Structure formats: structure tokens, C-alpha cells
């Protein structure tokens, strides 16, 4: 039986309405995921400003300058892990000439190094936030404070990008690059500053 034009239009309208209804939850979910890194960054900044610093806080039993020296060493190790992860990522994407195609073990190593970097960052961040909070009076400390808050927002953003395959291809390298830049900035503004006799150019 032939469909009438009215019936055809009705079915087309139903399909269109169905697509619109199914796309609304998808857009709402995408908006929620997009705001999560912002919420993490803002939450850390708020806590760091509202929290009363405890300068006597210990890091693995060390306090004051000894704790800062240990954090500088851990921060340097963190930067090293971030650079290793960058090299593994470049290998995975075929950006390192002369190397064979990345195997599954390279991908596994990339994930494990990323996990190790995240875990290593936690005691450093915990001590910084507890002992000093977020301070803005000095340019070096302000840069360090902002970078520390943004770091965990970037961690969350990268996890979201990895889990959501429908995002554009540039999203994952951008998220990974932002993480590396923030870790390098944190190292420059604190670890290098401490290891270089409390001085770094420009800050």
C-alpha cells in the first residue's frame, strides 16, 4: 500500500523528534563532563584560599625546608616521568623516526607511567596545599599555585578525553600537552627554584 504524503511527513517528523530527544541527553552529558575539570580546578583554588596554612606540616617526616627539598626531588622525578610519557606517546603516534611500530607493551607502559606520575604528584600536592594553600602575594608563588590547581583539572580532562572516543583527534594530544606544560611550570616555579638556591629567571 502506498503511503500518503501526510503519512510520510508524519513519520519523518517522528524520526526527527526522536533524534532531537536522543541528542538532548547526549548534549547534557557532554556539558557535564566539560564542567568537571573546571569544577576540580575551582574547588582546589577555593580550598587553598579558605584553608589556614600549617607551615609545620610534614612530608614523610620532614618539615619546613627539609620538606621543600624533598618536594623538589620528587617534583624532578615527576617531570622525568612526564617526559617519559611524552616520548612513549610520540612513539605510539609514529612521531619518533627510526623506531618500529609501537606494540601493546608500549601502550601499557604509557598508561603505567601516567598512573605513576599521578600517584607521585599526590603527596607533593597534599603538602603544598596543607602547608601553604593558595597564595597570590608573590608572582612565583602565584604562578605555582595556579598551575597546581589547573594540574588536577587537566588530569580530569585527560581521563575524560581518553574515555570518550567521539572527541576530535586533537583533543587527546592537547590534554596531554597541557599536563606536561603544567608539570614543567610547577617544577620550574618550585623544584628548580629550591634546587637553584631559591632563584629562577623571570620569577
> How confident is residue 145, by pLDDT bands cut at 50, 70 and 90?
very high
**Non-local CB neighbours of 171 within 8 Å, separated by 6+ positions:** 161
Give the confidence band of 2 by pLDDT, cuts at 50, 70, 90.
very low
Q: Is the pLDDT of residue 49 over 90?
A: yes
Query: Facing residues of 59 across strands?
Result: 62
Domain locations in the chain as residue ranges = 36-195
- Lowest-confidence region among 14-18, 126-130, 146-150, 151-155: 14-18
Question: What distance, in Å, lies between the first and last C-alpha atoms of the chain?
Answer: 79
Task: Please enumerate in sequence order all residues whose Cβ is within 8 A of that of 130, keeping only pairs 6 or more positions apart, or say none.
Answer: 51, 53, 54, 57
pLDDT at 181: 97
Return d(Cα 85, Cα 176) in angstroms, integer.
9
Q: What mean pLDDT do residues 47-62 have?
A: 95
Angle, CA 167 vertex, CA 176 and CA 96 arms, to 5°:
40
What is the model's pTM?
0.84
In the predicted structure, residue 200 carries a pLDDT above the cut 70: yes
Residues of the chain with pLDDT > 70, as a percent, come to 84
State the average pLDDT for the chain.
Answer: 87
Does residue 159 surpass a pLDDT of 80?
Answer: yes
- Non-local (6+) Cβ contacts of 133 within 8 A are 47, 48, 49, 51, 52, 53, 145
**Least confident range of 3-12, 93-102, 107-116, 131-140:** 3-12
**DSSP conformational letter for 58:** E
pLDDT band at residue 25 using 50, 70 and 90 as cut-offs: low
Q: What is the pLDDT of residues 73-104, one digit of tens each?
A: 999 999 999 999 999 999 998 999 888 999 99
Based on the number of CB atoms within 10 Å of its own CB, is 123 exposed (0-12), middle (13-18) or buried (19 or more)?
middle
Q: Distances from the Cα of 191 to the Cαs of 54, 78, 81, 134, 185, in angstroms?
A: 20, 10, 15, 17, 10
pLDDT mean over 94-115: 93
Calculate the CA 45 to chain-centre distance.
15
Amino acid at each position: 500500500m502506498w503511503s500518503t504524503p501526510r503519512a510520510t511527513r508524519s513519520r519523518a517528523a517522528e524520526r526527527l523528534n526522536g533524534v532531537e530527544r536522543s541528542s538532548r541527553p547526549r548534549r547534557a552529558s557532554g556539558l557535564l563532563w566539560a564542567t568537571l575539570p573546571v569544577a576540580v580546578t575551582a574547588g582546589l583554588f577555593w580550598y587553598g584560599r579558605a584553608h589556614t596554612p600549617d607551615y609545620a606540616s610534614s612530608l614523610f617526616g620532614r618539615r619546613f625546608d627539609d620538606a621543600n627539598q624533598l618536594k623538589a626531588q620528587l617534583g624532578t622525578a615527576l617531570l622525568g616521568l612526564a617526559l617519559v610519557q611524552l616520548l612513549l606517546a610520540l612513539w605510539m603516534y609514529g612521531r619518533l623516526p627510526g623506531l618500529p611500530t609501537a606494540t601493546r607493551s608500549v601502550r601499557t607502559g604509557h598508561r603505567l607511567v601516567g598512573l605513576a606520575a599521578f600517584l607521585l604528584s599526590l603527596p607533593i600536592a597534599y603538602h603544598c596545599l596543607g602547608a601553604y594553600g593558595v597564595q597570590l602575594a608573590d608572582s612565583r608563588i602565584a604562578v605555582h599555585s595556579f598551575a597546581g590547581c589547573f594540574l588536577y583539572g587537566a588530569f580530569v580532562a585527560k581521563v575524560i578525553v581518553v574515555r570518550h572516543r567521539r572527541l576530535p583527534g586533537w583533543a587527546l594530544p592537547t590534554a596531554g600537552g597541557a599536563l606536561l606544560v603544567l608539570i614543567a611550570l610547577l617544577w620550574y616555579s618550585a623544584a628548580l627554584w629550591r634546587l637553584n638556591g631559591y632563584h629562577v629567571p623571570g620569577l
